[in-house]
Amino acid sequence: MRELLETAREAVMDGEIVILCTVVRLEGSGYGRPGARMLLTESGERLGYISGGCLEKDLRRRVWAETESGPKLLAFDTRGNSIPARSAYNTGCEGVVYVLAQRIRSVNHPALSVPLRSQKEHTPIVMATVYRSERSDITAGQHLGHRDTAGLQSYNLAHEILELLDPIMEDCWELRRSSTAEIVTETGNIEVALEYLQPSPRLVIFGVGDDVMPVSNLAVTMDWDVTVVGERPELAHPSRFPKTTIACQSLHQFAGEFAFRPDDEVLLLTHNIDSDAELLPVLIDRGVKNIGLLGSKRRLAKMLARMHEHGHQLSDEQLSLLRSPVGLDIGAQTPQEIAVSIIAEILARRNKRSKTSLASLDRPLHERETRLRVDATNRRQQHVEFLAESAQ
């Protein structure tokens, strides 16, 4: 999402109008989950997705005209038995995808500024956006507020709605998940997308060998924030690691000075056992929680023995932070295959997923989405669950 947001910001600063299309709700199954975004610019650029390519063409054809008078909620019915028949996309997903399309003319528009802030400050944010409204004072596309580390921030929101949204957004914040809410009021109902925004993962790689390049490139294509650290200028070069931050300096010095965060991913791909033995104690002392190393368990044992010789004895808890050899068992041989193995393991752990074939699962691909219905007239809340599965 980071590249999409930066492209939108630059286009708006150049005087262009852009359209941001966001999946706000999914009934049934679909490729693009709530929060999936697609950007269209006046100059013809397109970034992001709302499906696997099935719906984008129709959306691009309709969206400029549909948003002339303001934000618009568009529904795409992918069910095979959809009525009328022309609304069916024959994708096999069997769902209805609701997309909120908004024209953005200012970098201060919350749909742009709030996600950008989440990325820049590396902090999760829950953002509340109306996607359907029966009230005259609250319209579709209106951003009601967001919750971050400072609590609930509102955008001139009526007290009654703010009071109702606060506990709902707090739940989303605590559970780290998006949701939707229908708020029933005497003057009409509103439906709100509560989106949990999280910053791109940050990956720090020690090593600048040829086998680091596919790891870095793969992480970059996934919009991760990648930093590569190496001591040889001819290898630690932008031509080898495009779209990354390159630190050409002493590995030990970098490890001691860099502002690591607890959720950073760190890989030791130096191919130098002495260098790794020096780096590990520093990284652990700096609070790094996720460290992957190349090589066999025998290599790890040798490295730990050398650390012990220099007075560094790791506790069982500290040893649990290490993943060696790093990567999933997919029979990887080439540097490109090894890169897939490494990145796949990081994704599985961060998403709290087992390393299992999807075909062997006896459950839906995704958890049930929770839809909350709040009756403002009597302050009653009712949770209504519906299944939203992802198509491959």
Determine which of 107-121, 158-172, 192-206, 310-324 has the lowest per-residue pLDDT on average: 158-172
Q: Which CATH architecture has domain 202-350?
A: 3-Layer(aba) Sandwich (3.40)
Q: Are 143 and 129 in contact (CB under 8 A)?
A: yes
Determine which of 12-26, 84-98, 215-229, 263-277 has the lowest per-residue pLDDT on average: 84-98
Give pLDDT, residue 89: 52
Domain boundaries of the chain, sorted by first residue:
2-197, 202-350
Tokens representing 6 are 């930066």
Tokens representing 356 are 């299992």
Confidence band, pLDDT 50/70/90 cuts, at residue 380? low
Q: Is the pLDDT of residue 383 over 60?
A: no
Q: In the predicted model, what is the mean pLDDT of residues 118-136?
A: 92
Q: Is residue 7 classed exposed, middle or buried when 0-12, 13-18 and 19+ CB atoms within 10 A define those classes?
A: middle
Q: In the predicted model, what is the mean pLDDT of residues 267-291?
A: 94
Which residues partner with 180 through β-bridges? 193, 371
Q: In the predicted model, what is the mean pLDDT of residues 197-208?
A: 95
Complete DSSP assignment for 104-127? E--TT-HHHHHHHHHHHHT--EEE
First-to-last C-alpha distance (Å) of the chain: 20
Measured from the Cβ of residue 209, the count of other Cβ atoms closer than 10 Å reads 16
Give one word for 260, left, alpha or beta, with left for phi > 0 and alpha for psi -120 to 50. beta
Closest CA to 280 of 250, 327, 318, 248: 318
The answer to whether the peptide bond before residue 201 is cis (omega within 30 degrees of 0) is no
DSSP SS3 for 21: strand
Give pLDDT, residue 77: 82
Quote the CA–CA distance of 76 and 170 in Å, as a whole number.
Answer: 30
Quote the CA–CA distance of 225 and 220 in Å, as a whole number.
Answer: 7
- Contacts of 387 by beta carbon, 8 Å cutoff, 6+ apart: 28, 29, 364, 368, 369
Q: Are 270 and 276 in contact (CB under 8 A)?
A: yes
**What share of residues in the chain are helix, strand, coil (percent, to 5)?**
30, 30, 40
Give pLDDT, residue 390: 40
Confidence band, pLDDT 50/70/90 cuts, at residue 387? very low
Residue labelled with tokens 């299992």 = 356
Quote the CA–CA distance of 244 and 262 in Å, as a whole number.
Answer: 20
Give pLDDT, residue 124: 93
Q: In the predicted model, what is the mean pLDDT of residues 373-381?
A: 67
Quote the CA–CA distance of 35 and 385 in Å, as a whole number.
Answer: 18
Per residue in 317-374, pLDDT (tens digit) is: 999 999 999 999 999 999 999 999 999 999 999 988 877 776 776 665 656 566 777 8
Quote the CA–CA distance of 136 and 141 in Å, as a whole number.
Answer: 13
Q: In the predicted model, what is the mean pLDDT of residues 265-280?
A: 95
Strands 322-323 and 290-293: parallel
Task: Report pTM.
Answer: 0.83
Q: What length is written for the chain? A: 392
